Amino acid sequence: TALHIFDFDGTLVRTPGKEDGAVLLEAATGQILRGGGWWGREESLGQIVLPTPLDRSRVISSVFDELEEISVRSLTAAAIVMTGRLSKLRPAVLRVLDEAAIAHTREPTSFLLHEAVFTHPGLGLSTIAFKTALISKIIEEGPEALRKIKELHIWEDRVEHAELFAGTFAAGLRSKMGITTTVHFVGAETP
């Protein structure tokens, strides 16, 4: 009856931004990070910035609790992770998520299903356009069980994305499909 969508950076895992990441990279390699974005770089999820095993302090525990509960124990809800990280970074995203799950649960293996993790295909789409289109597609064309949901929960750390999900996107889903959308904002102080 419910689908939960979890963002990755800043929602499930505290990944370093460009400023902090550049400092870590320079300290380890002596090279200064120049030009370009941060979130599309392989270094942004690499071993220098996020070493194995992932430090438990990087896991946003209260949100990971929800992800684990839905993924492992719920009989009425499904959970997926959806990130604006480009598909070329999928292996690194999966590594970090698996290590976060292991750090969080203290189990020897991750509970995450890799098939339930979606990365951005690029193609010039903004992250919000990618996410809203994919959520709509999953609800309209995905597995039959997901086409019958009554509730959508979105876990998000970016204010502008949370506002759009809670506003026009939620209104569209309610009027078109009768789905109630709840946005759970994950702030920097979220434990």
Task: Give the pLDDT mean for 36-62.
Answer: 94
Which of the four pLDDT bands, split at 50, 70 and 90, describes residue 129?
very high
Task: Give the pLDDT mean for 151-168.
Answer: 98
Q: What is the mean pLDDT of the chain?
A: 95
Give CA torsion, residues 15, 129, 183, 20, to 10 deg: 20
Whether the model pTM is above 0.85: yes
Q: What is the pLDDT of residues 55-69, one digit of tens each?
A: 999 999 999 999 999
- pLDDT score of 36 more than 80: no
φ, ψ of residue 87 in degrees (nearest 5): -55, -30
- pLDDT score of 189 more than 90: yes
In the chain, the percentage of residues whose pLDDT exceeds 70 is 100
Q: Is 188 helix (H, G, I), strand (E, B) or coil?
A: coil
- pLDDT score of 34 more than 90: no
What is the structure's pLDDT at 10?
97
What is the structure's pLDDT at 116?
97
Q: What is the pLDDT of residues 86-103, one digit of tens each?
A: 999 999 999 999 999 999
The 8-class DSSP code of residue 166 comes to I
Q: How many CA atoms lie within 13 A of 149 on its CB side?
A: 27
